[in-house]
A and B are shown apart, each in its own frame.
Chain A
């Protein structure tokens, strides 16, 4: 029950008033000084929240983009979208990489304990959806009937309020399947793998035209609120955001934005009431400000009723995918040489170094090999800032991958070095060479030749492992694939293109390594 929602807003207002202010940094002052409000979201979440623009997929659009931009206008600053992993948003907030989270974050008790929440900017509910041609699923109650068939299968977004609700509602009478993408479940219902899905109302409304085979069943249930979260204790920023939201509710800005995306519904009427009772916050001054009516269109203008397919996908998205593959190449090609260098040093230290060096080096290798690279990246990106070390996302990725792979490379080199007969070192020493010279000229060059195949193997693995860097906000090939596949639903085409790109990166490596092996192989002892 991670997402137990508040039954009423009063609870939240109370919570907001009671919880003490802890942080001292003033985010609002920072925003005004830099002229930029950094707001976090994950474009992988897809429409209508934050998703790539069809004609220019490196840019984002969505009702939350419009919403954030409008807030920026009220604060007289530029609102800047910052990509990050959806579930890592609170960490980005904590480490001050963003000023605010605007990404379909529901108001929950757990979140309100660690962050400060504004008043809601959207009232969502859970919409049950099924296939038009499936009479069996026609009501909430029908979910619990198995009636001789297998139990009903319901798809939900992993970790969402819908998931929590579905599990409670089913209570063992139906199967709940969790998915990582918002629209995955709708596609699965369409193809018949699932019987029903429960979606937040914005998703159900926005994607309804694209999934023509689906229908909405009964009225939405279990109302909840999307709120902006800021760092705990940022009262000035919280107040400014609340004022802006109240203004936007009153002057119709929100309605216009939501109508653009076709997600304005009767539930949003509650927003006006909330804005009214917002006087409790002490920002009544905002309600007196006169605002000119804005020029936004009132009808739906952002629509996604056609689904692109086949060559059209290839034509429209190969550019952005290749660009993201570039990030994958850059990450791999900078971090791997570092990993090799560090790995070789560690291996030499463990085999030939002074005895006091060996324990810490062994510990280094065991620790880094024994923990996931994702956690290591997470540590660098989200923990080091706590002790004052701020590493930018790109260098976090480089550093994390290099350190992690150095542990693996050091083991490969250790094996390679150990495979060199003892007589080689003795022969070198007997010629008057120092140990360092003997290592450099005689031992290491031989070891390097031996380990080419496993090292190239790791390099190829690294190309694919760079995808973990999305936890530290890097968008590389796999993340780009996820983002595009969520917003276009053209998963098969995009998957094929992504696979081809990875292959195009790794296959030349295999060929090159075989060439090198062949050439050096001539010099190897038979």
Chain B
């Protein structure tokens, strides 16, 4: 479904990603953990084409992104990839000038060309699923952070993407709200939603993910099923990262 081969990303002369490869199959949940500055978010942003990269390739379905892919010259290709791969941001990024319902139906109407009534049908189902059926007409600023993130998840889901990328979705939330979001994501995982989740929540990585990746210094230093990574860490970075986390 998503195949990343030898991905290299540089900002100027600083190498952020130093050759990362992995594969995500349908229905899998991949969790990326690791110390800050390890390139986790950048990696995620490369997958849906928000960041260009300098080496390797990314294959999403039958679409291929390469270092030659340009934001303008390959706009169609990128739009195609993004329709396959949803994205949930740490800062939610809801559209402040639109109501909750309008936030969710905007892309289905404008991008998928759904009829408004169909888009509203889809949106209502999803808003009910994330527990916001009473907030259709509210504006984002009237919602708590947790509620905003739930709208953002509904907004991603409404496009029925093959996979969803979560970029630290709970980092801007207090623990209670974070818990709500994580259990919502767990439900999605149970329903077979393919996901890549960059997270600091070890609970989620341990209990929900089918694969865990530890990113450090631009490398995928250690990956495997959570039981292996957490139970029997091999790499020095993983060990120190996990012990650091345990102290908190």
A contacts, CB < 8 Å to B: 354, 421, 423-424, 426-435, 437, 441-442, 445-446, 449, 520, 522-526
| Chain A residues whose C-beta falls within 8 Å of the C-beta of B34 in the assembled complex | none
| Chain A residues whose C-beta falls within 8 Å of the C-beta of B159 in the assembled complex | 431-432
Bound: A522/B86 CA distance, A: 29
B contacts, CB < 8 Å to A: 48-50, 71-72, 75, 78-79, 82-83, 86-87, 89, 91, 93-98, 106-107, 110-112, 139-141, 155-156, 159
Inter-chain contact B141/A524, CB cutoff 8 Å = yes
Bound: A430/B75 CA distance, A: 12
Inter-chain contact A430/B48, CB cutoff 8 Å = yes
Bound: A441/B106 CA distance, A: 9
By beta carbon, the residue of chain B nearest A440 is B110
Inter-chain contact B141/A432, CB cutoff 8 Å = no
What DSSP secondary structure best describes chain A's contact surface? helix
| Chain A residues whose C-beta falls within 8 Å of the C-beta of B50 in the assembled complex | 426, 429-430
Bound: A442/B106 CA distance, A: 9
By beta carbon, the residue of chain A nearest B88 is A430
Nearest CB of A to B186, in Å: 22
| Chain B residues whose C-beta falls within 8 Å of the C-beta of A424 in the assembled complex | 93, 95
Bound: A212/B181 CA distance, A: 90
Inter-chain contact B111/A524, CB cutoff 8 Å = no
| Chain A residues whose C-beta falls within 8 Å of the C-beta of B155 in the assembled complex | 431
Bound: A430/B44 CA distance, A: 12
Bound: A434/B75 CA distance, A: 7
| Chain B residues whose C-beta falls within 8 Å of the C-beta of A421 in the assembled complex | 93
Q: Can you identify 29 A-B contacts, CB atoms within 8 angstroms?
A: A423-B93, A424-B93, A424-B95, A426-B50, A426-B93, A427-B93, A428-B95, A429-B49, A429-B50, A429-B78, A429-B82, A430-B86, A431-B82, A431-B86, A431-B107, A431-B155, A432-B83, A432-B112, A432-B159, A435-B71, A435-B75, A437-B110, A441-B110, A442-B95, A520-B97, A523-B98, A524-B97, A525-B96, A525-B141
Apart from A432-B112, A433-B110, A441-B106, what 14 extra A-B contacts exist at CB < 8 Å? A426-B93, A427-B87, A430-B48, A431-B82, A431-B86, A431-B106, A431-B111, A432-B79, A432-B107, A435-B71, A441-B110, A442-B95, A449-B97, A523-B97
Residues A437 and B111 in contact in the complex (CB < 8 Å), given A427-B89, A427-B95, A430-B87: yes
Among the interface residues B82, B93, B111, which one has the most CB atoms of the partner chain A within 10 A? B93
Bound: A433/B98 CA distance, A: 16
By beta carbon, the residue of chain A nearest B49 is A429
Bound: A49/B58 CA distance, A: 83
| Chain A residues whose C-beta falls within 8 Å of the C-beta of B93 in the assembled complex | 421, 423-424, 426-427
Inter-chain contact A432/B82, CB cutoff 8 Å = yes
